[in-house]
Amino acid sequence: MTDWTDQTARARAWFESLRDRICGAFEAIEAEAGSDARFSYRPWAREHDGEPVENGGGGVQGLMKGRVFEKVGVNVSTVHGTFSPEFARTINGADPENPTFTATGISLVAHMANPHVPAVHMNTRFLTTSKAWFGGGGDLNPPIPYADDTADFHARFQAACDAHDPAYYPRFKAWADDYFFLPHRKVHRGVGGIFYDHLECADEAAFEANFAFTRDVGEAFLDIYPRLVRRRMGSAFTPQDETAMLEWRGRYAEFNLVYDRGTLFGLKTGGNIDAILMSLPPRAVWS
């Protein structure tokens, strides 16, 4: 089995640097709105049945609640361990004889105070079992959709995809449309984006290519999302707009608790519960 230790360290360093720049950009937006809100950071270590896992890794949960960002979490983690036999059967490349894994990544969810500002999700990750691969993406989740916001968000991610493979964007857009869908309500969670997984690294060249693409996905998010926030954050809204946002957030919570793979992966691998569930909105209603 290939030793991916050095590559995991490089990916981790990138995810942490991206976290720092995203948090800085979001804090700058809060300052522009006259808020002194800043991220707080809480480290955590991986546990199993309430006990620390030796050499199990962990992460840092970043959280900010402000005037523009009602709640935004930006988490980074690097964990190591062994899958349970049942869960291993659901993971790409997990070897029943040696179901060990390493996973490092960044995960972000922002719920906004103004219903006209779109909520957003983004994550990228590098995972190793008997195989190694990258996955991730970003998707826009506006309570009140605007066609130009949707078009600009998609165009920025398409540019990132096209720089690597013209087949990526249509493939990964369709994957996001299929994935971020609530079958029980027959509605999409938002207006889409891109979603990709299992970009396998059979050798060093494949790692470098897939790592470069994953970095460009992160850069695309950092470029486009703050622009969308600034475009809408000063918009006036009505109580009816806020009610629509809270009802929409209920759909978001349903998806993350019932269907989201990342939530399941975190819970099954001894992740920090607060960090895993930071994606849930601070307020929501069900009519």
Catalytic residues: 121
Q: For residue 61, what are the β-bridge partners?
A: 42, 75
The rounded distance, in Å, linking the Cα atoms of 184 and 71 is 27
- β-strands 47-48, 40-45 pairing: unpaired
The rounded distance, in Å, linking the Cα atoms of 169 and 242 is 33
As to burial, measured by CB atoms within 10 angstroms (0-12 exposed, 13-18 middle, 19+ buried), residue 240 is exposed
Other beta carbons within 10 angstroms of residue 185's beta carbon come to 11
**Residue pointed to by tokens 């988490």:** 75
Q: Which residues contact 6 (CB under 8 A, 6 or more apart)?
A: none
Cβ atoms of 138 and 157 closer than 8 Å: yes
The rounded distance, in Å, linking the Cα atoms of 3 and 5 is 6
The strand order across the sheet containing 119-128 reads: 40-45, 57-64, 69-82, 100-112, 119-128, 132-141, 192-200
Q: Quick one: CA dihedral 8, 159, 116, 147, positive or negative?
A: negative
Other beta carbons within 10 angstroms of residue 55's beta carbon come to 8
